[in-house]
Amino acid sequence: MRQLEHALALLQREARPGELAGMARFGINPERRLGLSMPAMRRTARHLGKDHALALALWDTGIPDARIVAAMVAESGKLTARQMDAWVKGFSSWDVCDQVCANAFLASPLAWRKIPVWAARSGEFVRRAAFALLASLAVHDKQANDARFMATLALIEAAAGDERNYVKKAVNWALRNIGKRNPALNAAAIAAARRIAQQGTRSARWIAADALRELTGEAVQTRMRMRVHSCVAPEAVTS
């Protein structure tokens, strides 16, 4: 495939093998990695443009940098459920997981359907994908109603006892992002965090304490009060 050869040549041109040791210190799996910076991967993806066939070919190389670029050039609407499942099973590093969720899965019409499926799986990065995707949706899906996010709090509570680092951090991330969406979800997320704290496991205590620190903090609460004030009708303010 000529386009794949071109894409791989671009990636090789940006390779930074000397950065791999530093990446590993941040928990990034260096296996088969070229060491591209995120700006370089974004630049490469912009040059290549949206091309779903190319995205699938890049994914099949198994090169983590190529897989991140694959997420950027993929056409989200063309991703099938089978392809999404295959990609999450191929995750072996948190950065690939998060970038695929934020760039390819986020805009897929299958995104919401996949969250409870992956949250119920045992694989560390498959489960992380569920909550990384939920965290991204909490920020970017402006059309989703509160009920949709409320329903995911049960998934968050169920996963809060998972002691694996990359799972618990994603669970915490999703809970915090939901709680920053609006005042109603802030209250619901705080209540969920308090229930999580009662679970008693080390991971649950960490998730709850970290989420409560942010969600009850002055910065978030000020933003929530501003949201409430902005929703009050002018006549209600002056009456």
As given in the structure block, the two tokens for residue 188 are: 């619901």
* DSSP 8-state class, residue 93: S
Tens digit of pLDDT at every position of the chain (239 positions):
799 999 999 999 999 999 999 999 999 999 999 999 999 999 999 999 999 999 999 999 999 999 999 999 999 999 999 999 999 999 999 999 999 999 999 999 999 999 999 999 999 999 999 999 999 999 999 999 999 999 999 999 999 999 999 999 999 999 999 999 999 999 999 999 999 999 999 999 999 999 999 999 999 999 999 988 776 544 433 32
Please report, in angstroms and rounded to a whole number, the separation of the first and last CA atoms in the chain: 69
Distance CA 42, CA 190 (A): 36
Pair 206, 224: CB distance under 8 Å:
no
CA distance 121 to 51: 30
Place of tokens 């899965």: 105
Contact 160, 204 (CB under 8 A): yes
How many whole angstroms separate alpha carbon 122 and alpha carbon 87? Answer: 15
In 3D space, the residue among 49, 119, 111 whose CA is nearest the CA of residue 79 turns out to be 111
Please determine, looking at this structure, whether the domain spanning 80-239 carries the CATH number 1.25.10: yes
Residue 71 and residue 104 in contact, taking contact as beta carbons nearer than 8 Å? yes
pTM of the predicted structure, to 2 decimals:
0.93
- Residue appearing with tokens 């299958």: 110
Domain boundaries, the chain: 1-74, 80-239
